[in-house]
């Protein structure tokens, strides 16, 4: 019997398999993919704290700024913390680390169903060899936004936004974010530089149309897509746990989920190591570490869904607060910049309005 069956060998699954295996637990990790990390849907834009966790060797770019374009004008955010990492190499590296600590990896293998009784889980796996039953103390759903483990545990699904990315042959040093609710009513569109290419993406309704429009006549090297979960769910039930996107732990403001995928696995592995009330410990410590930020981000997303289209209200505020936003801004903690703007609101509004009016008159 295994201590843990980990479903999904993405960053969340491989990282927790590594953490548990090196602590002496017997781990089986499965993924329905034929090759680790492929196909890849992710842009790989992270804060440097993710690089501190996974290694400098994965960095392929260090964009120093992000230009944000709205129907009312643009502003530029600056940061020396942004990094672009090779997402396929990340998945491969973490899976190799897990295996080197003894985790047993099975590819082209999917979870079809499972049931829990008497403190153990029996899972039915399907591979080219046919069906196989596996027994484990715990089952860990690291199987992404459309998680089968989540469904099996009877946990509700977060809202899932479908996203499209086109990779074009162009070199760039700058991230671009397009906030325009008339074109992307659910989310936003973006450009992330990645080596000799730029990844152009958008989420929600009309994303393909928007991405095609940004790409224009540029040569599209590949098209890909994925799902972004919006809003955290429950973290588990009985001996079944969810980490990463399976638990809806991406930031609802930006869609970024790599930090949470790694961090939630570390938090759960510590609770399993402690071995008492595993779910209670996981919930408590996750909320203390990064869970609060994920919940705040979801509330901010709800606020943005309501007010983002009123550009005249907030664009002048952000433009006039830009140096402070740059100082506190952090892609893993978007709420810090928002709270900064909200708290400086009463002091900024006169200068923001004057600035806005004088610019509008000039136009
Ligand atoms: C278009 C797009 C761009 C993004 N860009 C960024 C970014 O720039 N920065 C950032 O931080 N985040 C980004 N994200 C989010 C990031 O990709 C996710 O948060 C991250 O991949 C979550 O990791 P995970 O291990 O939880 O899930 P996943 O990476 O989705 O891994 C889940 C794994 O489970 C496997 N699996 C699924 N079902 C089963 C099953 N039944 N049996 C066996 N295996 C199964 C899948 O094959 C997959 O390998 C982006 C997401 C999208 C959609």
The CB of 58 under 6 Å from ligand 1? The reply is: no
pLDDT of residue 357: 58
Sequence-distant (6+) residues with CB within 8 A of 131 are: 112, 124, 125
Q: How far is the CA of 324 from the centre of ligand 1 (A)?
A: 32
For a mutational test of ligand 1's pocket, the pick from 12, 42, 211, 243, i.e. the residue with the most ligand atoms closer than 8 A to its C-beta, is 42
Kindly state the helix (H) or strand (E) to which residue 150 belongs, with its residue range: helix 148-153
pLDDT of residue 334: 86
The CB of 70 under 6 Å from ligand 1? The reply is: no
Using CA of residue 208, residue 213, residue 215, residue 221, what is the dihedral sign? positive
**What are the residue ranges in the chain where pLDDT is below 70?**
345-363
Residue 103: name the closest of 3, 208, 251, 231 by CA. Answer: 3
For a mutational test of ligand 1's pocket, the pick from 38, 144, 161, 334, i.e. the residue with the most ligand atoms closer than 8 A to its C-beta, is 144
The CB of 31 under 6 Å from ligand 1? The reply is: yes
Residue 269: name the closest of 1, 17, 93, 28 by CA. Answer: 17
Gap between the Cα atoms of 40 and 211, Å rounded: 18
Mind listing the pLDDT tens digit for each residue in 104-142? Answer: 999 999 999 999 988 899 999 999 999 999 999 999 999
Please report, for residues 37, 117, 209, 251, the alpha-carbon distance to residue 244 in angstroms, rounded to integers and kept in the order given: 15, 25, 29, 11
Q: How far is the CA of 245 from the centre of ligand 1 (A)?
A: 6
**CA 357 from centre of chain:** 38
Mind listing the pLDDT tens digit for each residue in 294-350? Answer: 999 999 999 899 989 998 888 888 888 888 888 888 888 988 888 888 777 665 555
The CB of 13 under 6 Å from ligand 1? The reply is: yes
Gap between the Cα atoms of 328 and 317, Å rounded: 16
Give the pairing of strands 82-85 and 59-61.
antiparallel
Residue 326 in contact with residue 340, Cβ under 8 Å?
A: no
The CB of 5 under 6 Å from ligand 1? The reply is: no
Q: List, in order of start, the domains of the chain with CATH numbers.
A: 1-44+86-158+231-309 (3.50.50.60), 64-82+162-228 (3.30.9.10), 310-362 (no CATH)
pLDDT of residue 282: 98
Residue 58 in contact with residue 33, Cβ under 8 Å?
A: no
Q: What is the DSSP letter of 57?
A: G
pLDDT of residue 362: 54
């Amino acid at each position: 019997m295994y201590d843990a069956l980990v479903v999904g060998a993405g960053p969340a699954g491989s990282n927790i398999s590594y953490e548990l295996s090196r602590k002496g637990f017997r781990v089986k990790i499965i993924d329905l993919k034929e090759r680790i990390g492929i196909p890849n849907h992710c842009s790989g834009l992270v804060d440097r704290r993710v690089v501190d966790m996974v290694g400098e060797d994965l960095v392929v770019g260090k964009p120093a700024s992000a230009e944000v374009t709205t129907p009312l004008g643009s502003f530029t955010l600056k940061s020396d913390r942004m990094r672009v990492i090779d997402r396929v190499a990340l998945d491969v590296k973490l899976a190799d680390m897990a295996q080197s600590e003894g985790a047993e990896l099975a590819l082209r293998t999917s979870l079809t169903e499972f049931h829990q009784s008497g403190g153990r889980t029996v899972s039915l796996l399907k591979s080219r060899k046919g069906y196989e039953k596996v027994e484990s103390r715990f089952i860990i759903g690291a199987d992404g936004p459309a998680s089968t483990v989540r469904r099996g545990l009877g946990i509700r699904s977060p809202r899932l936004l479908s996203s499209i990315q086109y990779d074009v042959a162009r070199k760039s040093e700058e991230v671009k974010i397009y906030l325009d609710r008339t074109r992307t009513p659910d989310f936003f569109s973006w450009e992330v530089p990645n080596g000799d290419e730029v990844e152009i993406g958008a989420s929600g309704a009309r994303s393909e149309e928007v991405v095609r429009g940004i790409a224009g006549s540029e040569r599209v090297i590949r098209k890909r897509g994925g799902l972004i979960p919006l809003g955290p769910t429950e973290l588990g039930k009985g001996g079944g746990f969810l980490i990463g996107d399976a638990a809806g732990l991406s930031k609802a403001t930006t869609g970024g989920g790599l930090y949470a995928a790694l961090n939630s696995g570390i938090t759960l592995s510590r609770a399993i190591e402690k071995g008492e009330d595993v779910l209670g410990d996981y919930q408590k410590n996750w909320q203390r570490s990064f869970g609060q930020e994920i919940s705040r981000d979801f509330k901010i997303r709800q606020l943005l869904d309501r007010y983002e289209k009123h550009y005249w209200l907030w664009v002048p505020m952000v433009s006039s607060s830009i140096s402070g936003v740059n100082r506190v801004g952090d892609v893993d903690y978007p709420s810090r910049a928002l709270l900064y703007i909200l708290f400086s609101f009463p002091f900024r509004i006169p200068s923001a309005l004057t600035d806005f009016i004088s610019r509008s008159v000039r136009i």
